[in-house]
Amino acid sequence: MTDFRVVGERLRNWGRWGDDDERGTVNLITPERLAAAGRLIHKGRIFDLGIDLDGTGPQNGRFRINPVHLMSETGAEQVFPGGFRYADGYLFMPIQASSQWDALAHVFYDGLLYNGHPADELTVKGAARCGIDKQGKGIAGRGVLLDIPAVRGVPWLEAGEVITPDDLDAAIAAQGGVSVGAGDILLVRTGWRRKFLEQGQEAGFMAGEPGLGLASCQWLRDRDVAAVCADNWAVEALPGEDPGAFLAVHMVLIRDMGMTLGEILDFEELTEDCRADGRWEFFFAAPPLKITRAAGSPINPLAIK
Amino acid sequence: MTDFRVVGERLRNWGRWGDDDERGTVNLITPERLAAAGRLIHKGRIFDLGIDLDGTGPQNGRFRINPVHLMSETGAEQVFPGGFRYADGYLFMPIQASSQWDALAHVFYDGLLYNGHPADELTVKGAARCGIDKQGKGIAGRGVLLDIPAVRGVPWLEAGEVITPDDLDAAIAAQGGVSVGAGDILLVRTGWRRKFLEQGQEAGFMAGEPGLGLASCQWLRDRDVAAVCADNWAVEALPGEDPGAFLAVHMVLIRDMGMTLGEILDFEELTEDCRADGRWEFFFAAPPLKITRAAGSPINPLAIK
Amino acid sequence: MTDFRVVGERLRNWGRWGDDDERGTVNLITPERLAAAGRLIHKGRIFDLGIDLDGTGPQNGRFRINPVHLMSETGAEQVFPGGFRYADGYLFMPIQASSQWDALAHVFYDGLLYNGHPADELTVKGAARCGIDKQGKGIAGRGVLLDIPAVRGVPWLEAGEVITPDDLDAAIAAQGGVSVGAGDILLVRTGWRRKFLEQGQEAGFMAGEPGLGLASCQWLRDRDVAAVCADNWAVEALPGEDPGAFLAVHMVLIRDMGMTLGEILDFEELTEDCRADGRWEFFFAAPPLKITRAAGSPINPLAIK
Amino acid sequence: MTDFRVVGERLRNWGRWGDDDERGTVNLITPERLAAAGRLIHKGRIFDLGIDLDGTGPQNGRFRINPVHLMSETGAEQVFPGGFRYADGYLFMPIQASSQWDALAHVFYDGLLYNGHPADELTVKGAARCGIDKQGKGIAGRGVLLDIPAVRGVPWLEAGEVITPDDLDAAIAAQGGVSVGAGDILLVRTGWRRKFLEQGQEAGFMAGEPGLGLASCQWLRDRDVAAVCADNWAVEALPGEDPGAFLAVHMVLIRDMGMTLGEILDFEELTEDCRADGRWEFFFAAPPLKITRAAGSPINPLAIK
């Protein structure tokens, strides 16, 4: 079993965008690449990849809870000049309970965050460095979807199944050779969302998941991918390849490579459209809420073709 | 004083996109217009128009409170195999306390929401019709910024100052004749955010504001604008033109025209850039969180030039 | 199967304490009875009947969530003159997720609350009538514990097992003939908390429960009991006796009789002590938080012997 | 100006109830004293000293916010067998925003909590030592009210006015020589709540307050008082006597003496009654919610005469 620390050291991007950098691989989305991404909008169709924020979400209440939305006003009891009435409400949620970006401050090991920022800057007041607010001017660019279950001929991968570089290459080949390159936002479909939609909470969405393995980190680094999103809740396979290293892919991608992860997304409608028109690339925009010093943010990413 | 009900009836879009429609003027962003908007990205620069979600926000705690973000994990006390550690947190906020979209269910009068949906469908369980979740596949398209204080030669307009169609036309002229047309998202800069940034909470951000007057509703309808955003908290002037009709512009725009409003945005950096390069149009993407049945959603809109 | 409406009509206390009354059977705790209860404190030992408010609670996240407590300050990053440092935090919880009083506004049927107050006074703004704030001056008096599993010779009753008047009488007999009379707060031990403590969440605390049956309502009314508390989450048996009437005991006790219920309490330590000293009566004090217009309140009742 | 550290060292109760103690002066409420307190209930009248938990509270939203109570169910949209309907809601609040107990973990200096417990045990997960959950079996006993404004012949003391041992002695004398002794819970009325009730939020409830001075700490220690409650928000005078030591009384009482403080209480109705019947002592019961590891808890204390 490869030691994730060895992989992490080899793939590390620390200092690549300056010693003070807090944005990591999102820096790879250069102005030129962003402008080119805008030209991918052809048919003017939007796919919303965020799931509903309500009690139907995948959280089981043990680790995290689903978002709680409560009304504070319905208008029924109001009296304003002219007859104006309004509805209002509150939202309470774990920032990572639903569709979300991980901030680079979300994960660390050996006392250091991405770019060598000391982990003791993570306090009850939040992340002084690498919080999600540092990604406010993003994350938008060229998105590419790879449909792994299609390659394997299954409706979804099962918990613990590892997606390898060969799987990624096979998906590219099966999808007409769509390129995955520098500054791209890669969307990896594992089918885990599909399983949840078909079988519900009882199927154990949060109990494990299929996802990337450690070898795929090298693949992502070789292509200088800017961000990875998935339809599971942690991008990587769980249980992982090495029982001795919990969430090893998180540690390498986020802490060593400085790569932001998008999780609990829904690619179902987008996948159907890509299969239909054969185009697996699109403009992608997923601005995080600028929650100061937060370890992540709920999002509703848009894929626009 | 024109009766807002007369204006509302004249400008009403009910039935225009079908009797079941819950999206209103966002329907004006056709696929063609969206695709054209993508081609407005030239220099690949992103402007994030959302303000920080934290205690520095403009809410004074009487009407609404600022967002509360609390950490639940800093990693310090965790023990996982391999040394993995993670940070996590919770968000609690009024959905309309910060940068946000109003849902079409946010405002009504005379017992009816936009498109004639009955207001009694607004209950403690939220908005069965016209909730912000119905705008999940949006809101993206061509954005245009109009800088009203620049036209008037002031740093910002004062509370209660009304922006008229003449102001809007003057801004267009001053900005090189930038067009405002069908399916556009109009950003109206009043300077109210600038005043807050310079003078702080004590200056009374929530106590009133400059903004659109009733006559501008006709102007927006004539051009078939898809959505209006502003750097104040209610788009319209407060106190309003007619003491007998509280938030009359809200009532006409949201309830009669079916127009979604974006509020408490920050146009400062974007304005500076537009002044510098003379281009006041851009690609705009502001996906709402899909909070089921909610009257609005926090957002971080991106303007991309 | 007896129709709960027939029972409710027979036991109804509407008008008994005035047409405007919002406190119900708590009115039975007269000044004299309260003063007498104070004299029950002999050995000066306090038993706290509230459970811990944290993630170990019995909620499974589907219906309600457990309380969420988050720290906002630990003192580590503070600088005050003299060296002062402080810790602080926030609480977010469903008001009925943990040890709690039901307000009389908690339950109704046929459009009427206790005392005939119209149910449409229950709105998004809370309960205009019969909210828990109306019980602020309480609830304290003489408490009596009845240990039902002991009578049956089991560690706990199982879900759906109905506690009958015979059970209550048998417990009284087994406990030396302790009286249950006017103005008393009756604590009914079903053992359901014991089962949870021994078997954990997986045992299905919220999936059903043993508890009072409809016939016991008459028993409580005959004795003019002021309030009933239990170590389960709804006082009554679930599934109930009549599949055609969900929570029938709630409807009769709360809505017809005006009796406040205390739920999710822990009687284990108190029971042990009562078995040891043979005294099953005590002073009882369980002040609700005065949450304006709320349907209930978290509590930590004290039994003082 | 006396150095609070000198006072603190002199009055320190560390080790007095064992090196592991986390309850402090509440230990002074012995079983005998508690039993005697029960016999103070004569006329059977309850005074609820907690304020309403709602938006009318004293918080101004800058430092803390007032409690937020939101309904989740009103019953209107429910369908259950038999016609059962229920109301429910959520509470979100800073634990110290309203009537509350400070936990002994609430305040520290020089790296140590009460009894020498290390302050680094205060983390994002809460207070491992001295949390409010450690006071679950309390706080009840003999209460005594001292009405300071009455002694001074004013409706209320003003912000910064210091209550001295002479004031406390004068109040005792004026109140017929009521005793204040070992294990008592002392209620100090400053009139600050009265001012808030008469003048509202604009009067600056949270901007300062009258209260105890450092010399009163000795007075409390001499009498072995178990706890102190006040109708202001920090018990002590603010601004304090020594500009160089913020909240010095907090530091001495909580951290050195191990004394729990009750704050933001309402003594108005109780005071009126004590003036009328000449009895300033009563049974007092204020159980905290057992919020695990919390720095405090909202309460609704009952004074029972």
Look up residue C275 and give its amino acid: R
pLDDT at residue B60 tops 90: no
pLDDT digits (tens, 9 = 90+) for B175-216: 999 999 999 999 999 999 999 999 987 778 999 999 999 999
Domain assignment present for A73: no
pLDDT digits (tens, 9 = 90+) for A193-234: 999 999 987 778 999 999 999 999 999 999 999 999 999 999
State whether residue D120 sits within 8 Å of chain B by CB. no
Indicate yes or no: CB of A124 within 8 angstroms of CB of C72: yes
Query: SS3 sequence, A204-230?
Result: CHHHCECEECCHHHHHHHHHCCCEEEE
Nearest to B72 among D73, D77, D124 (CB): D124
Q: What's residue B172's pLDDT? A: 98
State whether residue D290 sits within 8 Å of chain C by CB. yes
Handedness of CA B214, B215, B217, B220 (dihedral sign): negative
Q: What's residue C299's pLDDT? A: 98
pLDDT at residue A45 tops 90: yes
Beta-strand ranges (E) seen in D95-252 are: 100-102, 107-108, 122-123, 126-127, 140-147, 162-163, 185-189, 211-212, 227-230
% of chain A surpassing 90 pLDDT: 96
Q: What's residue C69's pLDDT? A: 97
* Strand pairing class (B140-147; B227-230): unpaired
Q: How far apart are the C-alpha atoms of A167 and D120, rounded to whole Å?
A: 48
Chain C residues whose beta carbon lies within 8 Å of the beta carbon of residue A73? 124
> What is the CATH classification number for the domain harbouring B193?
3.50.30.50
Q: Which of D124, D201, D206 to mutate to test binding with chain B, by most B CBs within 10 Å of its CB?
A: D124
Indicate yes or no: CB of D86 within 8 angstroms of CB of C286: no
For residue D267, report the phi and psi dihedrals to the nearest 5 degrees.
-105, 10
Domain assignment present for A89: no
Q: What's residue B203's pLDDT? A: 77
* Strand pairing class (B140-147; B281-285): antiparallel
Q: Which residues of A115-150 are buried (b: 16+ CB within 10 A; e: fewer)?
A: bebebebbbbbbbbbbbbbbbbbbbbbbbbbbbbbb
pLDDT digits (tens, 9 = 90+) for D163-173: 999 999 999 99
Q: How far apart are the C-alpha atoms of C261 and C248, rounded to whole Å?
A: 14
pLDDT digits (tens, 9 = 90+) for B185-194: 999 999 999 9
Q: How far apart are the C-alpha atoms of B293 and B288, rounded to whole Å?
A: 12
Neighbours of chain C (3+ CB pairs under 8 A): A, B, D
Nearest to C76 among A61, A72, A123 (CB): A123
Chain C residues whose beta carbon lies within 8 Å of the beta carbon of residue B92? 90, 92
Assess contact for B110 and B116: CB atoms under 8 A: no
State whether residue D77 sits within 8 Å of chain C by CB. no
Chain C residues whose beta carbon lies within 8 Å of the beta carbon of residue A68? 65
What three-state secondary structure class fits B31? helix
A162 backbone φψ class: left, alpha, beta (φ>0; ψ -120 to 50): beta
Q: What's residue B272's pLDDT? A: 98
Domain assignment present for A85: no
Query: For D89, which residue in chain B has the nearest alpha carbon?
Result: B124
pLDDT digits (tens, 9 = 90+) for C172-192: 999 999 999 999 999 999 999
Query: For A90, which residue in chain D has the nearest alpha carbon?
Result: D70
Nearest to D61 among B65, B74, B123 (CB): B65
Chain A residues whose beta carbon lies within 8 Å of the beta carbon of residue B300? 136, 287-290
Neighbours of chain A (3+ CB pairs under 8 A): B, C, D
- Please report the number of interchain residue pairs, chain B to chain C, with beta-carbon separation below 8 angstroms: 16
How many domains does chain A contain in total?
1
Indicate yes or no: CB of D71 within 8 angstroms of CB of B123: no
pLDDT digits (tens, 9 = 90+) for C225-281: 999 999 999 999 999 999 999 999 999 999 999 999 999 999 999 999 999 999 999
Indicate yes or no: CB of D54 within 8 angstroms of CB of C291: yes
Q: What's residue A167's pLDDT? A: 98
State whether residue A124 sits within 8 Å of chain C by CB. yes
Indicate yes or no: CB of C71 within 8 angstroms of CB of B70: yes
% of chain B surpassing 90 pLDDT: 96
Chain D residues whose beta carbon lies within 8 Å of the beta carbon of residue C214? none
Q: How far apart are the C-alpha atoms of C285 and D41, rounded to whole Å?
A: 13
Q: Determine the angle formed by the axes of helices B215-223 and B165-174, rounding to 10 degrees.
A: 50
Mean pLDDT of D47-73: 93
Q: What's residue D303's pLDDT? A: 98
Query: Which of B215, B201, B193 has its CA nearest to residue B147?
Result: B193
Assess contact for A19 and A115: CB atoms under 8 A: yes
Q: What's residue C62's pLDDT? A: 78
Q: What's residue C202's pLDDT? A: 77
Q: How far apart are the C-alpha atoms of A181 and A260, rounded to whole Å?
A: 16
Domain assignment present for D181: yes
Mean pLDDT of D196-200: 94
pLDDT at residue A52 tops 80: yes
Mean pLDDT of D204-225: 97
Chain C residues whose beta carbon lies within 8 Å of the beta carbon of residue A66? 61
What three-state secondary structure class fits B238? strand
Mean pLDDT of D153-182: 98
Query: For D73, which residue in chain B has the nearest alpha carbon?
Result: B124
Virtual torsion, Cα C270, C275, C278, C283, nearest 10 deg = 10
Assess contact for B17 and B183: CB atoms under 8 A: no
Nearest to B124 among C70, C72, C124 (CB): C124
Q: How far apart are the C-alpha atoms of A44 and A46, rounded to whole Å?
A: 7
Neighbours of chain D (3+ CB pairs under 8 A): A, B, C
pLDDT digits (tens, 9 = 90+) for B228-242: 999 999 999 999 999
pLDDT digits (tens, 9 = 90+) for A242-285: 999 999 999 999 999 999 999 999 999 999 999 999 999 999 99
What letter does residue D162 receive in the DSSP assignment? Answer: E
State whether residue B245 sits within 8 Å of chain A by CB. yes
pLDDT at residue B162 tops 80: yes
Nearest to D61 among B61, B74, B92 (CB): B61
Q: What tokens does C76 get? A: 């580590």
Q: Within 13 Å and on the Cβ side, how many CA atoms surround C232?
A: 29
Q: Which of B86, B124, B206, B292 to mutate to test binding with chain D, by most D CBs within 10 Å of its CB?
A: B124
State whether residue C34 sits within 8 Å of chain D by CB. yes
Mean pLDDT of B275-284: 98
Residue B57's pLDDT band, with cuts at 50, 70 and 90, is very high
Q: How far apart are the C-alpha atoms of B279 and B185, rounded to whole Å?
A: 15
Closest chain A C-alpha to B138 CA, distance in angstroms: 7
Chain A residues whose beta carbon lies within 8 Å of the beta carbon of residue D123? 124
pLDDT at residue C19 tops 80: yes
Choice among B287-296, C100-109, C203-212 with the minimum mean pLDDT? C203-212
Q: What tokens does C2 get? A: 């007896």
Indicate yes or no: CB of D124 within 8 angstroms of CB of B62: no
Assess contact for D229 and D220: CB atoms under 8 A: no
Virtual torsion, Cα A213, A214, A218, A224, nearest 10 deg = 60
Closest chain A C-alpha to D248 CA, distance in angstroms: 24
pLDDT digits (tens, 9 = 90+) for C54-75: 999 999 887 899 999 999 999 9
pLDDT digits (tens, 9 = 90+) for C149-164: 999 999 999 999 999 9
Q: How far apart are the C-alpha atoms of B26 and B13, rounded to whole Å?
A: 12
Mean pLDDT of C122-137: 97
Chain A residues whose beta carbon lies within 8 Å of the beta carbon of residue B71? 123-126, 295
Mean pLDDT of C199-206: 86
Q: What's residue A171's pLDDT? A: 98
Residue C31: how many CB atoms within 10 A of its CB? 14
Domain assignment present for B73: no
Look up residue B270 and give its amino acid: L
Q: Within 13 Å and on the Cβ side, how many CA atoms surround C187?
A: 31
* Strand pairing class (D88-94; B302-304): unpaired
Virtual torsion, Cα D24, D25, D28, D30, nearest 10 deg = -50
Q: What's residue D53's pLDDT? A: 97
State whether residue B39 sits within 8 Å of chain D by CB. no
Domain that holds residue A10: 4-67+94-304
Closest chain D C-alpha to A72 CA, distance in angstroms: 6
Residue B63's pLDDT band, with cuts at 50, 70 and 90, is confident
Mean pLDDT of A166-173: 98
pTM: 0.96
Q: Which residues contact B177 (CB under 8 A, 6 or more apart)?
A: none
CA triplet B191, B197, B203: central angle to 5 degrees?
85
Virtual torsion, Cα A276, A278, A281, A284, nearest 10 deg = -10
End-to-end CA distance of chain A: 41
Chain A residues whose beta carbon lies within 8 Å of the beta carbon of residue B289? 50, 53, 91, 289, 298-300
Q: How far apart are the C-alpha atoms of D252 and B162, rounded to whole Å?
A: 57
Q: What tokens does C145 get? A: 């514990």
Q: How far apart are the C-alpha atoms of B2 and B124, rounded to whole Å?
A: 34
Chain C residues whose beta carbon lies within 8 Å of the beta carbon of residue D182? none
Closest chain A C-alpha to B152 CA, distance in angstroms: 30
Q: How far apart are the C-alpha atoms of D272 and D196, rounded to whole Å?
A: 17
State whether residue C10 sits within 8 Å of chain D by CB. no
* Strand pairing class (D85-86; B122-123): unpaired
Look up residue C116 and give its amino acid: G
State whether residue C123 sits within 8 Å of chain D by CB. yes
Query: Which of B171, B175, B176 has its CA nearest to residue B149?
Result: B171
State whether residue A86 sits within 8 Å of chain C by CB. no
Assess contact for C234 and C250: CB atoms under 8 A: yes
State whether residue B78 sits within 8 Å of chain A by CB. no
Query: Which of D167, D163, D147, D145 has its CA nearest to residue D155?
Result: D147
Virtual torsion, Cα D57, D58, D62, D65, nearest 10 deg = -20
Assess contact for B140 and B283: CB atoms under 8 A: yes
Mean pLDDT of B148-171: 98
Mean pLDDT of chain D: 97
Residue C129's pLDDT band, with cuts at 50, 70 and 90, is very high
Chain C residues whose beta carbon lies within 8 Å of the beta carbon of residue B71? 70-71
D226 backbone φψ class: left, alpha, beta (φ>0; ψ -120 to 50): alpha
Domain assignment present for C254: yes
Q: How far apart are the C-alpha atoms of A174 and C231, rounded to whole Å?
A: 60
Q: What's residue A72's pLDDT? A: 97
